[in-house]
Structure 1
Amino acid sequence: MARIHARSTLAALAALAVGAALAATGCTAGAASSSDRAASAGEAGPSSHASRDDSAGSAPVQQKAPESGKEKGDGQDGPSDNAGQRPPWCTTGALSVSLRPGQPAAGNRYGTLVLTNSSGTSCRTQGWPGLQLTRGDGEAIPTKVVRDHSDPSRPLTLAAGAQASARLHWTVVPGEGDPADGKCPEPAKLRVIPPDQRTSKTASWKLGTVCGAGEIDVLPLRTS
């Protein structure tokens, strides 16, 4: 009987030990599973937050960039929205136009078209203006602008009040395309379209007749 009791006791103790082991294993597995779920949620949350923080943080980095000296080394006093940017194009409204007579030659006439930056800020321009001869009432006179490439076109920056000019050349000798009676038209005005613009300004034309079917050779603008 004592042996049977001892065996029962040992069996009971063994069963208790196995149950305790299984309970411990179950707790450990449950904790690991919970930790994995938390880690998965944590990885999704912080990574998306980190992405937003990076994009939101890019602005301060850009604002601090001038402190590196790169922008200041370009002559800027400090950070500026316009730092490193060129002036805007000279609009028609920013310019005033005028004409100056040139030295005449046999059968040839010359003049200078002057564009003045009448705005209060710098602007830039480049190339050849568009031209249209007119009568006093604004009626168009046949005009053909021929771009003279003997002088290359260059980008120009005009400070407030600064000027750019283009030399004009035409003939006063009647030829093909002119009236049969040899009386070439004498314009009263010149409409001028600055480069890269669509509207015009008008200047008084006091430079005499224009023959050659209204052909005018124009050099590109250059600073006066």
Structure 2
Amino acid sequence: MTRRLIACGLLVLASVTACGTRTPENAAQTLPTASTSSSTPSSTDSSAAPAPDNPGAADQAVKRCDSTTLKGEVAPTDAGAGNRYGRFIVTNSGTVPCTLNGYSGFQLENASGVVPTKLERKADPGPSQMTLAPGGKAAANLHWNVVPAGGEPVEGPCQPEPPKASAIPPNETAPLSVPWTLGPVCSGGHIEISAFYAA
């Protein structure tokens, strides 16, 4: 009986050793390993996030050029066979940039008031958005003639000679005064004008 109990005890002990005891060799195989993933976002995730809009960007919008900012002049460029060509040049005399896009109004004047002016817009070049930095310039091409037409006198000036013109910048209502030193404009004051372009 005693031998049987000892044999059973040895058998139980051997079974426990084989099935339940962890050794340094099998410990790594039976224990789960810890996860190496990090809970913090990767650098790729953080860089993919969109950058926030610049606060106050709407307040920094560039305003249109107007008559308080622009200074104007008319410079002749060519002449021949009764035709005259020039450029109406405006300069941003302000301290901040301003935008310009389109055609200028243009009315010849003298001391008595308006001088007949028929302005015709030409499509070359057409309107184009531009930003004039302080001191920046833009120009519009002008074309007129000095040959009397219709009932205009052939002796003397065909029309009253204007010393100046009132020019209204695009999308504005207040004019700026521009000197005119290029003589009378015939055909009832007919002037062709292009849109402004960078000069």
Normalising by structure 1, report the TM-score.
Answer: 0.62
In the other structure, the counterpart of 1:25 is none
In the other structure, the counterpart of 1:103 is 78
Cα distance between partner residues in 1 of 2:76 and 2:141: 10
Displacement of 1:184 in angstroms is 1.4
Does residue 127 in structure 1 map to residue 109 in structure 2? no
Q: Is the 8 A contact 2:125 2:197 kept in 1?
A: no
Q: Is the 8 A contact 1:133 1:191 kept in 2?
A: yes
In the other structure, the counterpart of 1:167 is 141
In the other structure, the counterpart of 2:164 is 189
Does residue 117 in structure 1 map to residue 99 in structure 2? no
How has the CA–CA distance of structure 1 residues 70 and 209 changed in structure 2, closer, same or farther, with 3 Å as cutoff?
same
Cα distance between partner residues in 2 of 1:195 and 1:188: 23
Cα distance between partner residues in 2 of 1:109 and 1:180: 18
Does residue 89 in structure 1 map to residue 64 in structure 2? yes
Cα distance between partner residues in 1 of 2:52 and 2:149: 61
Displacement of 1:156 in angstroms is 1.1
Cα distance between partner residues in 1 of 2:109 and 2:198: 27
- Which residue type is aligned with residue 145 of structure 2? T
Cα distance between partner residues in 1 of 2:157 and 2:185: 10
- Which residue type is aligned with residue 175 of structure 1? A
In the other structure, the counterpart of 1:68 is 50
Does residue 200 in structure 1 map to residue 182 in structure 2? no
Structure 2: runs of 5+ lacking an equivalent: 1-48
Q: After superposition, what is the alpha-carbon deviation per residue over 1:100-129, rounded to whole angstroms, capped at 9, x for unaligned?
A: 111112110011111111111111011110
Does residue 217 in structure 1 map to residue 196 in structure 2? no
- Residue 97 of structure 1 aligns to a residue in which SS? strand
Q: Is the 8 A contact 2:124 2:195 kept in 1?
A: no
Higher helix share: 1
Structure 1: runs of 5+ lacking an equivalent: 1-66, 72-78
In the other structure, the counterpart of 2:120 is 146
- Which residue type is aligned with residue 118 of structure 1? S
Displacement of 1:179 in angstroms is 4.2
Displacement of 1:138 in angstroms is 5.1
Higher strand share: 2
How has the CA–CA distance of structure 1 residues 177 and 215 changed in structure 2, closer, same or farther, with 3 Å as cutoff?
farther
Normalising by structure 2, report the TM-score.
Answer: 0.69
Q: Is the 8 A contact 1:88 1:123 kept in 2?
A: yes
Displacement of 1:150 in angstroms is 2.7
- Which residue type is aligned with residue 130 of structure 2? L
Provide the alpha-carbon RMSD of the alignment: 2.0
**Structure with higher RCO (Cα < 8 A, 6+ apart):** 2
